[in-house]
Structure 1
Amino acid sequence: MADTQQVDAKADRKAAKLAKQITAFSKAHGGAEGQVAYLGQRGARIALVGEDGNWGNLVAPTYEIAQKAVEKSGLTVHEDFDGEFAAKVKTGRYEWSRMAGIQVGGPAND
């Protein structure tokens, strides 16, 4: 029983820390929305998009912890990263060159 309580407490602390980071991102960017994606054994990615178009990612050790974090932060969560939500992301020259990679003379993805 003590082991389960210890694991739950650790998960709650991690969720609280992620929620704090989500809230800080949201405050810094005039609000934010997000999407949680399962990454397999690595856990879950919380993609964040600020109202100003800036974006970022956080990784939680489990999908359940990611869900707790977004609930604690009050983040609006989308099922998918497409459509109007994806259109809010502003990308700069660096992102375009990284996405293009060596195909159009951008930096290699190595």
Structure 2
Amino acid sequence: MADTSKRAAKLAREITKFAQSHGGSAEGQIAYVGQTGARIVLVGADGTWGDLMAPSVDSAKQAAESAGITVREAFDGEMAEKVRTGPYEWSRMAGIQVGGSSVS
């Protein structure tokens, strides 16, 4: 239990740092990914996105609450519309993911 609280506190610090670095705020969505735990997808006010892994959905929720971010039920169209992608993401999505060549 203490380890889970420590991990949640560390995640909260990482979420807070992300938010401060990307426009001063962020919102997130938490997804259960099986025995691995939960994925916290973050979108900063500037449109930058990132993710973190938590050992459980409960620890992810605890971290998000401690960091003071809005957590959405789903990564819906409204949240996706805020994401800003660059050449790296397009290269990864269009090249590697479909078996094509990656743009450098």
Same fold (TM over 0.5): yes
Residue 99 (structure 1) aligns with: 93
Bigger Cα displacement from structure 2, 95-104 vs 58-67: 95-104
Does the 8 A contact of 1:34 with 1:48 survive in 2? yes
Name the CA distance, whole Å, in 2 between partners of 1:9 and 1:80: 29
Structure 1 residue ranges (4+ consecutive) displaced by more than 6 angstroms after TM superposition: none
Return 5+ residue gaps in structure 1 as ranges. Answer: 1-7
1:101 to partner: Cα distance: 2.1
Equivalent residue, structure 2, for 1:86 = 80
Bigger Rg, structure 1 or 2: 1
Q: CA deviation at 1:52?
A: 0.4
Q: Alpha carbon RMSD of aligned pairs, Å?
A: 1.4
**Aligned counterparts of 1:89 and 1:62: Cα–Cα separation in 2:** 25
Map Cα deviations across residues 47-100 of structure 1 (whole Å, 9 max, x no partner).
000010111100001111111111111110111112111110001111112111
* Distance in 1 of aligned mates of 2:4 and 2:70: 21
Which structure shows the higher helix fraction?
1
* One-letter amino acid of the structure 2 residue matched with residue 98 of structure 1: R
SS in 2 for 1:34: strand
State yes or no: 1:16 paired with 2:9: yes
Structure 2: gaps (5+ residues): none
The higher relative CO (CA closer than 8 Å, separation ≥ 6) is in 2
TM norm structure 2? 0.89
- Is 1:71 the counterpart of 2:60 in the alignment? no
* TM-score, normalisation: structure 1: 0.85
